[in-house]
Amino acid sequence: VQLEEELRGAWERGELSLHYQPIYRLADRRLMGAEALCRWQHPRLGVVPPSVFIEVAEQSGLIESLGRHVLVQACQDAAAWSQPGMEPPFVSVNISPRQLRTGDLPDVVASALAATGVLPKQLHLELTETAVLGDEVQASALLSRLRATGVKVWLDDFGTGFSGLSHLRRVPVDGVKIDRSFVADVLRDPDDLALTSAIIAMAHSLGITVVAEGIEAEGQYEVLRERGCDQGQGFWLGRPMPASEMQRRFRE
């Protein structure tokens, strides 16, 4: 309850901000977009990790207003990344299960797009596998509604749920993000390499894009590129950084 009270109004007080982690195309290491990651700098407690406060926001319902602020801010930042004559970069925003369940997500997304003028295809929504697992039929309808507005839907932490590959045929998504636990062992563990390759092949046969997360070494980058993985992110490619730094990277 304590942390919940501290979190209430934290966005308005300027304690919360978005960092961005760059996402590259593996074939030519072109910067394609970035994932928005929320940071909380509390005046007394210091940095509170998102693994802690997102959970608090979920439990308390504060995630609904926090999620709205995050969407608008991310779209605003992404609008500034575009440059004439270039494919506009995308921004990828994490959506927690509760935001998905409240039902007005398509409206929240539409108003963030309208308020910032960012193109719908520049916005990617990252949903966890477990969030869409509960009620496949209802989730599919919602994802279809979202995708009809032109935004892209991604499955985050892919491979950690039990639904796995068969799920992909029934849930309409544009992309999957291979969980970093697989990427971590892709050079050491033949099973993880086989599974990763299978995810890539299956996704591609369904016309779905694949992003690898948690690329921490050049060897991992190379093996994923060889296997045809489309995009990647990770400490080796770039750590999460403040918006101003991200903006500079898009300029270069």
Which residues form the interface with ligand G (CB under 6 A)? 21, 37-38, 49-51, 54, 70, 94-96, 156-157, 180, 213-216, 233-235, 240
User: Based on CB atoms, which residue is closest to ligand G, 87 or 222?
Assistant: 222
DSSP 8-state code for residue 11: T
What does the per-residue mask of binding to Mn ion show for 73-112, with x meaning CB under 5 A?
---------------------x------------------
Query: From ligand G, Mn ion, Na ion, none, which one binds at residue 96 (CB under 5 to 8 Å depending on kind)?
Result: ligand G
User: Based on CB atoms, which residue is closest to Na ion, 10 or 212?
Assistant: 212
Retrieve residue 41's tokens: 């700098």
Pair 116, 143: CB distance under 8 Å? no
Q: Binding to Mn ion by residue 129, rule CB under 5 A?
A: no
Pair 122, 90: CB distance under 8 Å? yes
Strands, E, within the chain: which ranges?
A: 16-25, 30-42, 46-48, 90-95, 123-128, 152-158, 175-178, 209-212, 231-232, 241-242
> What single letter denotes the amino acid at residue 101?
R
Q: Binding to Na ion by residue 156, rule CB under 5 A?
A: yes
Q: Binding to Na ion by residue 157, rule CB under 5 A?
A: yes
Phi-psi group of 239: left, alpha or beta (phi > 0 → left; psi -120 to 50 → alpha; rest → beta) = beta
User: Based on CB atoms, which residue is closest to ligand G, 17 or 197?
Assistant: 17
Please report how close the Cβ of residue 219 comes to ligand G at its closest, in angstroms: 13
Name the residue with the smallest CB distance to ligand G: 234
